[in-house]
Chain A
Amino acid sequence: MIRRLGAAGNHGLIKQFLLIILSLIIAGFGFWLWTEVKTPGQKIKRNQLLSRILQETAGKDKEKDLTVLQLYFAKRTHFALAIETREVELERSTPVQQKVNRTLCELIKGPMHDDLAPTIPVGTKLRSFFLDKNGIGYADFSKEMIKNHPGGTWAELISIYSIVNTVTNNFPQVNQVKLLIDGLEVETLRGHLDIRRGFSFNDTLTRPPQQ
């Protein structure tokens, strides 16, 4: 009997102890909330963050987002490249490789504005785009890229940099772009420029050449 009473007494003590701890935790949480209300700026930030996380987790797969792409085409009046902005629907969760794929397909379609000209030869298809760990993107085009290319240093230069600038400008995670034709590395498109190395973003071509 004594043992039982003792045990019951112990239980009571534990319960009381737990209640005190629980009330302390609740009080602490309440105090923390109160300080949060006192600093509204932070609270708004928190709310925004929370809603963003909720948005991303809830409708992750279904949600489509309008992405503004900057596509580089040739100017018809000057020796230069120019940007055309185009809105495309891209799912947020789409991997970068697929996003670049879509962007390059838009570039192949050609410009919408009349004062711009296409830079990719007719009939060219993008076979695939692959991004490696070092941020080097491999854009693999079909053989029409060479077959239907007019040739010439300037023409090859604008074809290469319209691709390179479009990809690197829209996707900062891609540092360099390397061109492949039919899955293979080639020396040149039409005998002028060396395309064995990867190319980085080049802004000089958006300005007229040095006279």
Chain B
Amino acid sequence: MYSPSSKKSPDNLFLYAFFCQCLALLLLYGACRPVVAFSDDRIIEEELLLPEENQKTYCLVIDPGHGDKDNGSTLGANLLEKDLTLDIARKIKKLALADTGINVVLTRSGDDDVPLENRAALANHLKADFFLSIHFSNHLYPAQDALWIITAVYPPEEVEFSSMTNGSWKSMQSRHLIESREFAQRIAKAARTNETFQSVNMLEAPVYVLEGASMAAIEVELGFSATKEAIEKMESDNYRLQVAKDLFQGILDYIKEQEEKS
């Protein structure tokens, strides 16, 4: 009776060893787990504590239009839209450095080629509070200077559809249209006070770069006629600084309004 079982013993030993190994691994995993959980919790706690200690920080993503091979509009002999937009964005970022409550991130820091959908995607990934896209254009008809403040617009059926379902990437902005319009109105009000622009116009248009943004998002377009005075104005660093100041003031006003509301 013994002999058959003793024959099987090497197999049993192997099984026993395997079982022990599994048990050891399980124990090791169990021992490690609380440590990982503890370190995770501590990081989250630290993150949560930061804003409570200081004031609430806002994240503003500025998108300087065009870049790299895409020059945008040619406004003067050596005046390209892509350079002007980057300059205004950098100026706003500099202004925001003095204000610790606003963290400004640019969609491109240099003369880079950034696809349109990646621009709003960056703002979404950073969970930004506002998205501001800057553009310049050459007004042929009519030859007037104007600042356009543009919010996205959707066909009614698309808004309805996206509110019922998860919606597609390009209908993301349809849920934030009210905030975006309020944001646009604040910017327009600030832009009118210093009379930096001949006229300030509001517009609703299906702007590609805004469609994927899941926050208050607007596009500002500085339209200029190709006249000598207009080109001189745009070439002046002081004028561009004034434009940046006006836009930044609009952002500050909007934040203030939101804080008063909540």
Contact = CB atoms under 8 A, between A and B. Distances in A.
A65 interface: no
Given A77-B142, A197-B155, A153 B116 contact: no
A191 B66 contact: yes
Contact of A191 (B72, B142, B148, B150): B72
Nearest to B137: A152
Nearest to B222: A152
A69 interface: no
Nearest to B219: A153
Interface stretch (B97-105, B199-207, B233-241, B254-262): B199-207
Contacts of B200: 211
B182 to A, nearest CB: 15
Contacts of A211: 199-202
Contacts of A154: 137, 139, 148, 203, 221, 223
B137 A197 contact: no
Contacts, number: 90
Mostly helix, strand, loop or mixed at chain B's interface?
mixed
B137 A155 contact: yes
Nearest to B201: A209
Contacts of B122: none
B175 interface: no
Interface of A: 74-79, 117, 150-155, 157, 187-188, 190-194, 196-197, 200, 209-211
Given A188-B208, A190-B72, 19 more contacts: A75-B141, A150-B73, A151-B81, A152-B137, A152-B221, A153-B150, A154-B203, A154-B221, A154-B223, A155-B138, A187-B208, A191-B65, A191-B72, A192-B207, A192-B208, A193-B205, A194-B207, A197-B155, A211-B201
